[in-house]
Amino acid sequence: MIDFLLGISLVSGLMIFLFVISIFSLLVYLTSHYFIKGQLQKNHEKVGRILFRVSASLLGLILSITFANQRVNYFSLKRSIEAEAATIVDIKVDIDLYDNEEAELIKEKLMEYVMHVSTDGWKSLQNDPFRSKAFVLFQDIYVSINHLEVQTPLQTRLKNNMLSDIDHLSDYLQVRLYSFREKSNPLIYTSVFGILGIMILFSVYPPDKLTIGFLLIYVAFIGIVLYFILMMSNPLKGPLMIEPGPFLLIKETIESKV
């Protein structure tokens, strides 16, 4: 289901996710109440209500901590992409000052890398990251900078700067590559089990319009938080995909000078 949600818009995905989780919760609640209503006594209702409150609070705590951690990871990747673009600008400045034929070739490759990422985004990385065009272009740039001939003290300093920058660029690129690795998400199973248990405990309350309304509001809130956690756990695809904005800015700057 997650792959399906990643392929549709944010609003559509959220509505479908909330519908599914609401129907699931409602069915569990009504079914559980149907089976236990004939055996409910006052002491059972008291225990069920206490456990419901504790379980609901625990699930809320788990989701809030997970949401906070996922948000940190999401924006860390976004900052990494911004740093990657800034490093490319640094390399271009040094290449312009280097001023020889080899440097001009590297600059062309660097601009090709920027153009590719700004138009392709992260699509080519999804299938075979280490054979994607972006990775091949980066390797070519990396080798070319290492093979630059040095003839003046200025070129020595510039090459050292570029070698340092290209190492940082390698780190940023690897962060993006690792973001595409398939990761199991135990949160789904934990949340499903948590909602299942909460709905069973909530079944000590007899169903009526107001009770069901309150239940759906609670489930919708949990569903919204869970949906955004799942979408942020896939930062380079889906409706919350991080856009290659910094690369687009560099591309626009290059094109404005042509």
pLDDT computed for residue 27 by the predictor: 95
**Which among 130, 16, 20 has a CA at the least distance from the CA of 6?**
16
Side-chain-side CA neighbours of residue 147 (13 Å): 10
Spatial distance between the Cα atoms of 19 and 25, rounded to a whole number of angstroms:
10
Spatial distance between the Cα atoms of 104 and 222, rounded to a whole number of angstroms:
55
232 close to 78: Cβ distance less than 8 angstroms? no
Q: Cα angle at 162 between 90 and 81, to 5 degrees?
A: 50
Residues in the chain: 258
Question: With a cut of 70, which residues of the chain have pLDDT below it?
Answer: 181-185, 255-258
Helices 42-98 & 153-178, crossing angle to 10 degrees? Answer: 160
97 close to 154: Cβ distance less than 8 angstroms? yes
Q: How far is CA 45 from CA 51, 193, 204, 250, in A?
A: 10, 21, 6, 63
**Number of other residues whose CB lies within 10 A of the CB of residue 79:** 11
In the chain, domain spans: 2-257
pLDDT computed for residue 14 by the predictor: 95
pLDDT computed for residue 127 by the predictor: 72
pLDDT digits (tens, 9 = 90+) for 203-220: 888 899 999 999 999 999
